[in-house]
Amino acid sequence: MKVLIVGSGGREHAIVASVAKSSQVDKIYCAPGNAGIAGVAECVDIQAMEFDRLADFAQENEIGLTIIGMDDPLVGGIVDVFEERGLRVFGPRKNAAIIEGSKAFSKDLMKKYGIPTAAYENFDTPEVALAYLETAKMPIVLKADGLALGKGVLICNTLEEAKAGVKTLMLDKQFGDAGKRIVIEEFITGPEVSVLCYCDGTHIKPMTSAQDHKRAKDNDEGLNTGGMGTFSPTPFYDKEIQKFCEEKVFQPTMDAMKAEGRDFVGILFVGLMLTSDGPKVLEYNARFGDPEAQVVLPRMKNDIVDVMNACIDGKLEEIDLQFEDNAAVCVVLASDGYPEHYEKGKVITGFENFEGREGYYVFHAGTKFEGDKIVTNGGRVLGVTAKGGDLKEARKNAYAATEWITFENKYMRNDIGKAIDQVNN
């Protein structure tokens, strides 16, 4: 079978690597892909938002399965375009991807169906939002309704900051139309957990847990980023919490989407905060997390093509989802200055150190070829993942492997997975 993956980041590289392990697959394409993906798949020069060109390519090349990695095309309705042409595609339709595309929609859904989440109000005009803030308790959280590359969330400690935040989102429109409407949400605290789940419209099967590190600097300081590193599983997500989430969050979300006529097929990413009042949903995404995929997929034992086909066919119940009894850590190597100003085009060396090394991976996020050299081409450049018998060993291995790669202005956090030291496991 031929498989096409749509996207160009570390997440798509991890998906491509997982698909490459399937015995049913003899050819992989990735659009547009990157320099690392080019080592495993044939990269196709079509951008993720060019739905008709992608569907033409899938038709002409007899692609048996297309996997959509990124949020923008999903929210924009790429799955509907493929389905109208009779093409097999993995991901939610536009009417279901809205669970990520609109935070106001997802908050209203949770409220309507009693799914635990932080208290909130939605606002369409800055005047009403500003008036509401006058009596609100600080800190408080402002969220742009639409997609904003994970950067449309502002945690405000004072009334002044919150007012300035409303201006940034709604008046200065820093995130464009994503900020036309905002959610103002109660500030909650606790460890964060990402649980990625396979869904077939009716059934939902959670994968092993992971934790991201969103801030740019050590000790969770600095600006929010797309994610600076992950580990899996997280010891904070124990059996009891897992049971609670399965009964009160995951299945109720599937049922709620079905009741709304928005059957969800694909990956539902549930971002949770484990508060003293119990787990609460921070956000939903309609695709694999990045860099969560880089620690979860290497630990999955199943053939990913089987699992995705079962989702499309409504037969997820027949799949016995299994993960290795070990751990993985991913450290993102970024360009110094990310997520603000940084330079690109720096030559990267050391990839050969990963060759033939079982349990070590270098996933490309922002790279490209310049002649026969691979150069940096983004803020997040690479995700170095290593497995280990437990989290401590995986962390040691991952940090050792970060030393194998060299490029000018290489930057990473030094405390990925450090939170696990607080937990006795």
Residues that bind ligand GLY (CB under 6 A): 150, 212, 227, 285, 289-290, 292
Q: How far is the CB of 110 from ligand GLY (least distance, A)?
A: 18
Residue 266 near which of ligand GLY, ligand AMP, none (CB within 5-8 Å, type-dependent): none
Q: How far is the CB of 285 from ligand GLY (least distance, A)?
A: 5
Residue 227 near which of ligand AMP, ligand GLY, none (CB within 5-8 Å, type-dependent): ligand GLY
Residue 185 near which of ligand GLY, ligand AMP, none (CB within 5-8 Å, type-dependent): ligand AMP
Q: How far is the CB of 217 from ligand AMP (least distance, A)?
A: 14
Residue 141 near which of ligand AMP, ligand GLY, none (CB within 5-8 Å, type-dependent): ligand AMP
Which of residues 285 and 397 has its CB atom nearest to ligand GLY in the complex? 285
Which of residues 133 and 210 has its CB atom nearest to ligand GLY in the complex? 210
Which of residues 165 and 229 has its CB atom nearest to ligand GLY in the complex? 229
Which of residues 87 and 419 has its CB atom nearest to ligand GLY in the complex? 419
In sequence order, the β-bridge partners of residue 271 are 194, 283
Which of residues 185 and 290 has its CB atom nearest to ligand GLY in the complex? 290
Which of residues 153 and 245 has its CB atom nearest to ligand GLY in the complex? 153
Q: How far is the CB of 340 from ligand AMP (least distance, A)?
A: 18
Q: How far is the CB of 291 from ligand GLY (least distance, A)?
A: 6
- CA atoms of 37 and 146, how far apart (whole Å): 29
Q: How far is the CB of 152 from ligand AMP (least distance, A)?
A: 7
Residue 282 near which of ligand AMP, ligand GLY, none (CB within 5-8 Å, type-dependent): ligand AMP
Residue 285 near which of ligand GLY, ligand AMP, none (CB within 5-8 Å, type-dependent): ligand GLY
Which of residues 87 and 183 has its CB atom nearest to ligand AMP in the complex? 183
Residues that bind ligand AMP (CB under 6 A): 118, 141, 143, 150, 153, 155, 185-188, 192, 214, 271, 282-283
Kindly report the three-state secondary structure assignment for every residue of the chain. CEEEEEECCHHHHHHHHHHHCCCCCCEEEEEECCCCHHHCCEECCCCCCCHHHHHHHHHHCCCCEEEECCHHHHHHCHHHHHHHCCCCEECCCHHHHHHHHCHHHHHHHHHHHCCCECCEEEECCHHHHHHHHHCCCCCEEEEECCCCCCCCEEEECCHHHHHHHHHHHHHCCCCHHHHCCEEEEECCCCCEEEEEEEEECCCEEECCCEEECCEEEHHHEEEECCCCEEEECCCCCCHHHHHHHHHHHHHHHHHHHHHCCCCCEEEEEEEEEEECCEEEEEEEECCCCCCCHHHHHHHECCCHHHHHHHHHCCCHHHCCCCECCCEEEEEEEEECCCCCCCCCCCECECHHHHCCCCCEEEEECCEEEECCEEEECCCEEEEEEEEECCHHHHHHHHHHHHCCCECCCEECCCCCCHHHHHCCC
Q: How far is the CB of 220 from ligand AMP (least distance, A)?
A: 8
Q: How far is the CB of 248 from ligand AMP (least distance, A)?
A: 18
Which of residues 150 and 201 has its CB atom nearest to ligand GLY in the complex? 150
Closest of 337, 359, 331, 365 to residue 36, by C-alpha: 365
